[in-house]
Chains A and B, each alone.
Chain A
């Protein structure tokens, strides 16, 4: 009979609608605006709608999520910020859209390059969030951020990030990427131990 398949299709639509309400009912108060509610709705077992009410609630980003890069600094016990960056320039060289500008300093007396960058710019309008800089940085110094809400009203005034805006603490890095951070710290400790052994011997 003509129209039967259409009716069956409509039944599927109706079923989906009903399932959404059934799941919402089962989930109770925690279904919306709580992190377990969001997790439950993005689970593969969901039968109804999977909508997340952005911006009231946000999908948690996975650890590997990458958005525009930032520079990691370590804090010494007396509160001094020490950038990990040694201005080796690998990130500027590997950057596909070439949106990283680095000014390497030179020592006035010896004329040799000094490791800390004098200036570091990233044009975030050009940055394509590919994560190559973070991937190939040998000093674990440039990392991809998790903060994706960086829209502003005037891109000409705000969208070239300088050192001040780029620098973020190692503690922040440890917070957004705990696994990577732990692995890198383990390697670092191992290296330090080996170096100590060498000096002892």
Chain B
């Protein structure tokens, strides 16, 4: 069990490093997916199967697909590889790298100072997660829902605006007759 934990943890760290250092966006993304899957396995090993499943379904399965969708739309090719390589010259990443190293050192120091507690694998099933989310943390769930609703309304608004401009561009003759509403166009503020 513990061996499995360390193997998966090493995989997670290595793949995440590759995500940062890779110049090809899609390859970096595949490493990212593997890294997320490794983190899901870590959650499972620590006794949180529900969180592990959500990690796979939401992060690796849904959000990464959106990333991939955008990368495919942008058509990144060899030129972008070159550009990426030019951007990640040693001079660019030494500063952030040194700062991160200091953080890593502090983390290691803090961990070594503390008493070495054995890994407590308290099993947390789906029911417990649900009771916690819709009991004491209900307000957080509702705030999250509100945030998502705001995003949804924003996206819908952007799309609507775009449709109206496209329609007016397609029909130059309707521009001259301003008083007549566009056929199919929804009235009111847009």
Q: Do A and B come from one complex?
A: no
A-to-B contact residues, CB < 8 Å: none
